[in-house]
Structure 1
Amino acid sequence: MLETYRTIYCDGTDEIVEKKSRFIAHIGLAETEEEALAFVERIKKRYWDARHNCYAFRIGTDRVLERCSDDGEPSGTAGKPMLEVLVGQGLYNTVAVVTRYFGGTLLGTGGLVRAYTKSTQAGIDASVVVEKKLGHMLEVVCDYSFLGKVQYIAATQKIHIADVQYTDCVTAVLMVPSDQRESLKKKLVEASNGAAKLTEGDEVYYGIVDGELVTF
C-alpha cells in the first residue's frame, strides 16, 4: 500500500465556455472500475442530449488501472488530456467526466485539448481533495503537567491531536503517520521519563479535511 496518496473526498463540478461550447466537468471518487463506469453512465444519462461525454479515470494505488475515452471527439483531444490532468494532480481512485455541448464553432485539435484540460482542472478545483495517509491512533495517558509537552511534541512533528479527555489524568489521542510512530513514541517516553502510558491502535488511512480528522 502507498504510505500516502491524494484522492477525492467530496465530488465536484464546474463549467467553462470556449467559443460558445459548454464544457461541464464532474469529478468523483471511484475505487473500482465498475464504480468508475457507473459514475460515467450516470453523467451520460443526465446529459443525454449532449454531443460528447468524455471521461478518464485512475483506479487503484499499487497497480493503477487507467482508462479514457474521447467519445466521438478527434482521437487524443479529450480523454487523454483529461487523464494527464489526473496524473499531474497525483490523484488516485478518481473519475472525471466532461460533457460538451457544441456551440457551433470548431475549436481545432489544440483548442479541444486546452478546453478539456481546463475543464477537468476546474472540476478538480471545485472538489474536495484529501491526502490519505497510513497511520495509527496513539493514546497517551499522562499527568496534567505533561499535557503541554505532548502538545508541543505533536506540534513540532506536525501530528494531529484528535481528542483530549480530562479525568483524574489526561488522555490525548494522536493520529500518527506510520513512518513517524516509532520516533514519536520514543520522544514521548523519554520526555515523560517513562511515566506516560502509550496504547497504539490498528493501522488505518486517515486525512485532514477542513481541520478535522477523517479516517477511512
Structure 2
Amino acid sequence: MPIDPNVSYTVLRASSVHEHEIEIKKSRFLALLKRVDSEDGARDFIACTKAQYRDARHHCSAFLLGPTRETGRTSDDGEPSGTAGMPMMQTLTSHKSPTQREQELEGDLSDICAVVVRWFGGVKLGAGGLVRAYSGAVAEALETAPLKTRMRSRSLSVRLDHSDAGRIEDDVRTAGFTVLPTSYEADAAVLTLAVPDRETDVQEALDTVTSLTAGNYTPELGGVDWHDIPSL
C-alpha cells in the first residue's frame, strides 16, 4: 500500500544509538544518530555525548523534529561558523530512503538528532574540508541506519473467534495492511489495523476486512494516532 507523504514521514528505528566513524588527515569524526521526540530529548542526547566523549575537541550537532520538520537546531561547537552544524542539517534534510530514491520522492527524515564528535589530528582541514567531513560522517551513518515509516493512522479493530484469528490476520497482512499486535481476551481475539488517515484508505480497509471475514464480523473504527511501520 503506497504511503502518502501528507500522513507519514521517515524516522530512525527506536533503539540504541547508531554510530559510524571516519578518519580524515588524522582527525577522527564519530557520527552518532538517535531517535528523539522533543527538544529536551535532543539536548539530553547532546549533553550525554559530550560527557561520554569529553576528551574530544568538538561535539557538533543538528536535530530535526516533527512530521513537517517544523523544529530544527544546529551547533558548530567551536568549529568555524557554518562548517559543521549546518552541513549536518542539510545532510539530514536531504537524505532519502532507497524507496524514495527509486521513486524520485523528496526526503522526509525527522525526529532525529545527529552529533559528530571530532578528535583533532593536528592537520587543519580548512572550511571546505570541515564541511565535507561533518556532512560526510552523517551521510555515511545514515546509509546503514535502520529506518521506519511513521504514519498518522486511524485504528480499525475487529473482534474475532480465537479459531478464526490466525487465518484472518494472515489474510489481512497478505492484503497489504499494517497489523498492530493482536490482543487475546477470554472470549475473543481483537485484531487491530493501522490505516493511513485518509477517507479512501479507511473505507478500503473496512471493505477488505468485511470481505475477508465473509461478513461474519463487524470492524469498528477507533481514534487517530501515530504508529511506526516497516519502511517500504
TM-score under structure 2 length normalisation: 0.74
Query: Which stretch shifts more, 131-140 or 153-162?
Result: 153-162
1:123 to partner: Cα distance: 3.1
Q: Is 1:74 the equivalent of 2:80?
A: yes
Q: What is the CA-CA distance between 1:188 and the residue it aligns to?
A: 3.1
Query: Structure 1 CA distance, aligned partners of 2:69 and 2:180?
Result: 33
Alpha-carbon shift at residue 155 of structure 1 (Å): 2.3
Residue matched to 1:96? 114
- The answer on whether the counterparts of 2:179 and 2:193 sit within 8 Å (CA) in structure 1 is yes
Please tell me the residue identity of whatever aligns with 2:70. Answer: V
* Residues 92-148 of structure 1: CA deviation (Å, up to 9, x unaligned): 221111011111222222222221112112333454332111223323346878986
Within 2, Cα distance between the matches of 1:133 and 1:177?
7
Is it true that 1:177 corresponds to 2:196 in the alignment? Answer: yes
Q: Which residue of 1 aligns with 2:207?
A: 186
Q: In 2 relative to 1, CA 68–164 (structure 1 residues): closer, same or farther, beyond 3 Å?
A: closer
- Alignment equivalent of 2:47, drawn from 35, 41, 45: 41
Contact 2:182 2:189 in 1 (8 A): no
Amino acid at match of 1:45: A
Give the 3-state SS of the residue equivalent to 1:22 in structure 2: strand
Paired residues for 1:16-165 under 5 Å = 16-62=22-68, 64-89=70-95, 90-141=108-159, 151-152=170-171, 154-160=173-179, 162-163=181-182
For residues 39 and 149 of structure 1, what CA distance do their matches in structure 2 show? 43
- What SS does the aligned partner of 2:205 have? helix
1:202 is matched by which residue type in structure 2?
Answer: G
Name the Cα RMSD after superposition.
Answer: 3.1
Q: Mark the runs of 5 or more structure 2 residues left unpaired by the alignment.
A: 1-5, 96-107
Question: Which whole-Å CA distance do the structure 1 matches of 2:117 and 2:174 have between them?
Answer: 45
SS in 2 for 1:112: helix
- In 2: Cα distance, 1:162 partner to 1:174 partner: 9
Aligned length: 209
- Superposed displacement of residue 45, structure 1: 1.8
C-alpha separation between the residues in 2 aligned to 1:84 and 1:14? 18
Whose strand proportion is higher, 1 or 2?
A: 1
Question: Which letter maps to 1:175?
Answer: A
In structure 2, what is the equivalent of residue 204 of structure 1? 225
What is the aligned counterpart of 1:3 among 7, 20, 27?
7
